[in-house]
Structure 1
Amino acid sequence: MRSGGRTARVVRARGSRRRESPSNGLERMNDLVLRSAAPTPLPALLSPVHLVRTLGRSSDLIRQFALRYFHARYRGTQLGFLWALVLPLLTLTIYMFLFNVIMAPKIGTVLEQTQSQFAVSLFCKITVFAMFSETVIRSCGLVLDNPNYVTKVVFPLEILPVANVLSTLMFSGFGLSLVLIGRAVFYHGLTWTAALLPLIVLPMVLMGLGLSWFLASLTVFVRDVGNLTVVVVSQFLLFLTPIFFSLSNVPEPWHSIAGLNPLAPIVTAAELAVVQGKVPEWQGVVASGVFGLVLMQLGFAWFMKSKRGFADVL
């Protein structure tokens, strides 16, 4: 003990201990709580500059968690991350068998493509849609499944949806690679329009990220949101998106309703650019991009405001 009534400090370092003055420890804890609890004004949360700066400060964590989410999908399996290639390959094989063998007599006379080309076209649209659907569905449990990040440590929870989006993009890259291979085989080569794909899917990535922030937060307070999201995305939205049909063949008033789907121009444009080798119409893609930017910013603001109540629920 030192004179003056101070509590001795004992340094904890590999077996040695460190005792701190109780008052100093409480002051530091209070400082930490005050810093973490300081609310950010709503105008700042609605600023794209603030969004970029917030995520930029945690860029290393985002990269680490994106890789963790990607490897966690196949952890403990014999093939490991090779499943990311095997699963889309099996899906493409099933489509090829379905349209070349089972349904060939029925659809062969109505297609402007061969059965194999139609299978590649369908696989392309499903792969692009899956980028969005997997991102949104997986986002529901990002906070709910990690309560320790909320209650025990000061952690930037807003990075979890971003890491989830990046891991889904990595996984989808394998499926899109098979689309390019199928295009090269059954269409006798690739075209330069395939390079437009990143620009085409960018609005969908923004929409997926915005919805992920909304859903990751809402599921903490209302657990039913997760189940409802699966139904809406995997059933309702899937069949409202022109994957198994063309918008030009949809009668009114359903044509107008399906046209309001912001995913419709993206899926259609991706198939045109990658498979058909045509330059898509950019009007719908740009409109979806504007919608995606707004949705992303609102989702970020909602998440940052609502995350202050996570600890009370979890």
Structure 2
Amino acid sequence: MTAKQKFGILVDFTKREIQAKHQGTAFGILWMILTPCFLLAVYTFVFGIVFGRTFDKNGQETIYDYAIGLFIGISIYQIFAAAIVASPNVIISRPNFVKKVQFPLEVLPISSTLSSVVSSIFSLAIAIILSIIEYNNASTQLFLLIPVLCACILYSASISLFLSAICVYLRDISQVGSLISLGLMFASGIFYQPKDIPEPYYSVLKYNPIVPLIDSARKIVLWNEPVNIPKLAIINGIGLVAFIASYRVFKFLKRSFSDAL
């Protein structure tokens, strides 16, 4: 099968993933907007109003500022969370693809990742619109969201490939994934800035790629601050290496999928 044919299958399965999530619902694809908006409202009320959290950028931050920053964080985090929670089951839930047909199985976890990226792009678009309306801060810096999203795709696709392959042999991964996802929600700078993390915890959490990606997205969309481009390039480079390594692990383990299933 050629690379062009595989790409066509990937696009087709990504579309199917998006449609399947909302098939038969009254609002359809609008749920891609309604769901993060609901989460935004809940988290803003709890952390912004009840606990009085802010990002403390200038001492004059409003709940509206915090809400947009929170929304950006949730949008980035959801890409990784979807990869961790959904990917372990994408192979074991489709044994027919493994046993009965010649099919590029790597398409399954990657298409799952891309469908979550599409959802997050909708959310980020809302954040951009709200930020421009409130602060009139539209600039060419918004194009820097492209390398941020590229890094998200590389890392989440790496996670999806690795977990989907490992879970064929170790089914407990699907249970552990939900716990890891919950832990990452509070360890990725969604509700706070990286500078708020005290030592020695920061020396560990700084290696979480979600932290700088959320921080960069906020600087681009909300605060209109300079982004550390060399650091962003390094993050993408590491993500590419991780993707290649995960792809090779997947291809190696793929040989025995039919026996394990």
Please report how far the alpha carbon of residue 237 of structure 1 lies from its aligned counterpart in structure 2 after TM superposition: 2.0
> Could you say what secondary structure the match of 1:279 adopts?
coil
Structure with the greater alpha carbon radius of gyration: 1
The separation in 1 between residues aligned to 2:236 and 2:55, in whole angstroms, is: 37
1:1-314 residue pairs with structure 2 within 5 A?
Answer: 55-95=3-43, 97=45, 102-103=49-50, 106-107=52-53, 111-232=59-180, 234-314=181-261
What is the alpha-carbon distance in structure 1 between the residues aligned to residue 107 and residue 94 of structure 2? 13
Q: Is the 8 A contact 2:194 2:215 kept in 1?
A: no
1:56 positional shift: 3.7
Q: Residue 216 and residue 54 in structure 1: after superposition, are their counterparts in 2 closer, same or farther (change >3 A)? A: farther
> 1:70 & 1:61 partners in 2: Cα distance?
14
Uncovered stretches (5+) of structure 1, i.e. residues with no partner: 1-52
Considering Cα pairs closer than 8 Å and 6+ residues apart, tell me whether 1 or 2 has the greater RCO.
2
Partner amino acid, structure 2, of 1:287: I
Tell me by how many angstroms 1:305 deviates: 1.0
In structure 2, relative to structure 1, the CA distance for the partners of 1:96 and 1:238 (3 Å cut) is closer
Aligned residues: 259
Contact 2:90 2:109 in 1 (8 A): yes
- Normalised by the size of structure 1, how large is the TM-score? 0.76
Contact 1:263 1:288 in 2 (8 A): no
Residue identity in the other structure for 1:282: I
Structure 1 residue identity aligned to 2:171: R
Quick one: structure 1 residues 108 and 195, their matched pair in 2 at CA, closer, same or farther if it must change by over 3 Å?
closer
User: Within 1, Cα distance between the matches of 2:3 and 2:244?
Assistant: 13
Cα RMSD, aligned residues only: 2.2
**CA displacement, residues 229-269 of structure 1 (integer Å, 9 cap, x when unaligned):** 1211x222222212222222222211211112122211111
Q: Gaps spanning 5+ residues in structure 2: where?
A: none
Identity %, equivalent residues: 28
Residues 276 and 225 (structure 1), Cα distance of their counterparts in 2 relative to 1, 3 Å cut: same
Alignment-mate amino acid for residue 265 of structure 1: P
Q: What SS does the aligned partner of 2:158 have?
A: helix
1:66–1:164 CA contact under 8 A, matched in 2: yes
Q: Deviations over 1:154-194 (max 9, x none)?
A: 11101112211221121112211211122123323423322
